[in-house]
Structure 1
Amino acid sequence: MASEQTSNSGGSTLQLLVRQVRFEGKGINSYELVDPSGAELPAFTAGAHIDIHLGDGLVRQYSLCNAPNERHRYVIAVLRDERGRGGSRALHERVHVQDIVRVSRPRNQFQLVDDARRVILIAGGIGVTPLTSMAHWLEDAGIEYEMHYCARDADCAALSGELEPMRVNGRVHFHFDGGDPKAGLDIRRLLSEPSHGVHVYYCGPAGFMQACADASAHWPAGTVHFEHFKAPGRSEPARAANDVADTFSVKIASTGQMIEVANDQSIADALEQAGVTIETSCHAGLCGTCKVRYLSGEVEHNDCILNDDEKAEFLTACVSRARSKVLVLDL
């Protein structure tokens, strides 16, 4: 895959060797990526992801699932989704052992908090990937945790071999429902009683995410954390009549430049068209690559990553809109 970045000593992307591709479960492959020269890779924290450039402008984000103390490799596990946007199919079809792939340095929008007394991890399907990395870190740190992994059956469970030692010691619990959610984990019962110092992390497909959100709605603010693999279903940002400006302007604080954003255009696209370049990746409000600080104006946030405190200061330029005529960006 062609790239302007050929050295791993600097820059925003890395050229990594595909050392191993491994079958992990029905439709699931894991990919082990290493530095071609054997050098250490940039450090990452549990819950981090990388972007993989698949050619033809196709870039997708995948969570790292190996232990964060491993500096010699990155491991991702990818479910081939025939109904997806094509990224997982491209990866399964195009990426092979001994290939060189271009990836971003790790970024993390799904971090473990520092002061948790106990952690509950709840994974649905391929959502197990970031939580597996978390389980490794919690295990090594000696922090009390329990992990619940929900899947249709054992054949559909990724990384089960890697998680087996944690299952044996009572930390990891598998829940196979045979396709009937009622036969699986009772998430409401699991999360029925919040406890001081306990934090919850969950990740999985849309229906699973909604079930976890409903079951944890009564938990204290700041104790429940989640990451979407796909943006929740919406055809376009929800807009109440007379509430959101169809066309608005962004002002560049450092220069005073005013840039109009059309109703069918993202802030990121309008900035690029005007010659103001910011880094973008997912274009769905999932990865945080295009997070920008704003100084004034009212924002309609359509992302899946910013918490309430962050929304008071930042927006995601790929999906955010304005509720005011002007947004002033700290650029």
Structure 2
Amino acid sequence: MKSETAAGQAAELEVFLKQIRYEGRNIHSYEFVDPAGAELPPFSAGAHIDIHLGQGVLRQYSLCNPPSERHRYVIAVLRDEKGRGGSQSVHERLRVQDRVRISRPRNNFPLQPGARKAVLLAGGIGITPLKSMVHALQARGMDFELHYCARDAGAAAFCRDLEEMLEAGRLHLHFDDGDPSRGLDIAGLLDGVPGAGTHLYYCGPAGFMAACAKAAAHWPPGTVHCEHFKAPERAAGPAASTTDGRFRIEIASTGQCLDVPADRSIADVLRVAGIGIETSCEAGLCATCKVRYLSGEVDHQDYVLDATDQQDYLTVCVSRARSELLVLDL
């Protein structure tokens, strides 16, 4: 059964798990198709889907196949023993021929129109959204280079699929054997002024993300794009919201006012009040719970909305208030 959105489109899809393939150490790819063989909803490079894993577990995984393919969705999952359990559930529970409930594709990490060249940096399993970008860039005939960082060849997924890029000089593999000093010199690569129309895209683990952000700090605004798999740890410091962390929200359509305690999210308070808001990551990474606000000063705390979006929207899973009241367009 498919749930419907207000526009009549299926908000969720039931797909058939056609194939599981070994891609690297602790990495499997999963190919989903329509159970009846129909085309799946289109997606663009950088998009992800939510996968329902049962018992209330919902996780986001980037699509890594060419966006031109309408017959399948492919994701790759690294089993993370130190994670929240989602990747372990995928590896242990999903089997070929399973029916799996997923969301329609959403994209918070798109290729930018009008760019002349793309520099892509992948750390480990961060290759997944960038692989889809590579397919799209190749189809457009656009100039790009991909730097893929991993511990060793056994930990690098999709090397066979990307082999022709290696031969063409577009793919650069960097294996450090666990010693970052032996890997890619990210600061050196991104040093200097990038060429006109050059955009940077990067994705990977926390340390890799921090290194890329620092190295690209001097790049022109609007040319650097990234996607986090996990929310970075926040530096300790004084709360950015109201004095004691509490604030109020007002529902614009009804005038209803609700108190948001310091230890509860806006999403939690809305749920208790019977106001349904779809959430997914609960960490400010996916924008599933993006809501327009009409007044008030927001302490955003998300990692997905850009500066333009933040002028009108907040994510109810992590956003707080710097003012005493936020008015939500609900």
C-alpha separation in 1, matches of 2:329 and 2:201 = 31
TM-score (norm: length of structure 1): 0.95
Contact 1:201/1:226 (CA < 8 Å) preserved in 2? yes
How many angstroms does 1:64 deviate by? 0.3
Alignment of 1:112-123 (within 5 A): 112-123=111-122
Name the CA distance, whole Å, in 2 between partners of 1:76 and 1:242. 38
> Which residue of 1 is the match for residue 128 of structure 2?
129
1:292 Cα deviation after fit: 0.7
Other-structure match for 2:255: 256
1:255 deviates by: 1.3
Report the equivalent of 2:288. 289
The separation in 1 between residues aligned to 2:137 and 2:207, in whole angstroms, is 27
Q: Aligned equivalents of 1:92 and 1:296: distance in 2?
A: 45
- Per-residue deviation, 1:5: 2.9
Answer whether contact 1:6 1:15 (CA < 8 A) is retained: no
CA contact under 8 A between 2:19 and 2:96: conserved in structure 1? yes
Residue equivalent to 1:43 = 42
Q: Which runs of 5+ in 1 are unaligned?
A: none
Q: Helix, strand or coil for the counterpart of 1:92?
A: helix
Secondary structure of 2:50's aligned partner: strand
Q: SS in structure 2 opposite 1:91?
A: helix
Q: Is the 8 A contact 2:30 2:74 kept in 1?
A: yes
Residue number in structure 1 paired with 2:183: 184
- 1:305 maps to what in 2? 304
User: Is the Cα contact below 8 Å between 2:49 and 2:103 reproduced in 1?
Assistant: yes
2-side partners of 1:255 and 1:133: how far apart?
A: 43
Question: Does 2:33 correspond to 1:5?
Answer: no
Q: Which deviates the most, 220-229 or 161-170?
A: 161-170
Aligned residue in 2 for 1:95: 94
Kindly provide the amino acid, as one letter, of the partner of residue 283 in structure 2.
Answer: A
Would you identify which runs of 4 or more consecutive aligned residues in structure 1 move more than 2 Å?
4-7, 237-245
Structure 1 pair 219–242 and aligned structure 2 pair: CA distance change class (3 A) = closer
Counterpart of 1:205 in structure 2 is: 205
**Partner Cα distance (2:234, 2:135) in 1:** 34
Identity %: 61
Q: TM-score when scaled to structure 2?
A: 0.96
Q: Deviations over 1:234-262 (max 9, x none)?
A: 49x96437755511111111111111111
Q: Deviations over 1:138-185 (max 9, x none)?
A: 000111000000000000001111111211211111111111111111
Amino acid at match of 1:249: R
Q: Matches of 2:130 and 2:167 in 1, distance apart? A: 17
Following superposition, the deviation at residue 135 of structure 1 comes to 0.4
Partner-residue secondary structure (3-state), 1:327: strand
Per the alignment, in what secondary structure is the counterpart of residue 166 of structure 1?
helix
Amino acid at match of 1:117: R
SS of residue in 2 equivalent to 1:128 = helix
Q: CA RMSD in A?
A: 1.7
Residue number in structure 2 paired with 1:275: 274
1:308–1:265 Cα change, 3 Å: same
1:65-92: CA deviations, max 9, x gaps?
0000000000000000000000000010
- What is the rounded CA distance, in whole Å, between the counterparts of 2:124 and 2:324 in structure 1? 42
- What is the CA–CA distance in structure 1 between the aligned matches of 2:284 and 2:238, rounded to whole Å? 17
Partner of 1:170: 169
Q: Partner residue of 1:79?
A: 78
**Equivalent pair of 2:120/2:145 in contact (CA under 8 Å):** yes
Q: 1:276 to 1:242 in 2, by over 3 A?
A: closer
Q: Distance in 1 between matches of 2:314 and 2:90?
A: 30
Mark the CA change 1:278 to 1:313 in structure 2 (over 3 Å): closer, same or farther. Answer: same
Distance in 1, matches of 2:100 and 2:277, equals 23
Give the structure 1 partner of residue 151 of structure 2. Answer: 152
* Deviation string, structure 1 residues 207-234 (Cα, Å, up to 9, x no partner): 0001101100000110000000000024
SS at match of 1:140: helix
**What amino acid is aligned across from residue 268 of structure 1 in structure 2?**
A
Amino acid in the other structure paired with 1:34: V
Check conservation: 1:47, 1:112, Cα contact below 8 A. yes
Q: Give the letter for the 2:2 counterpart.
A: Q
Q: Distance in 2 between matches of 1:286 and 1:61?
A: 9
5+ residue gaps, structure 2 = none
Q: 1:44 to 1:125 in 2, by over 3 A?
A: same
Report the counterpart of residue 223 of structure 1 in structure 2.
223
Q: Label 1:275 to 1:19 Cα distance change in 2 as closer, same or farther (>3 A).
A: same
Q: In 2 relative to 1, CA 322–218 (structure 1 residues): closer, same or farther, beyond 3 Å?
A: same
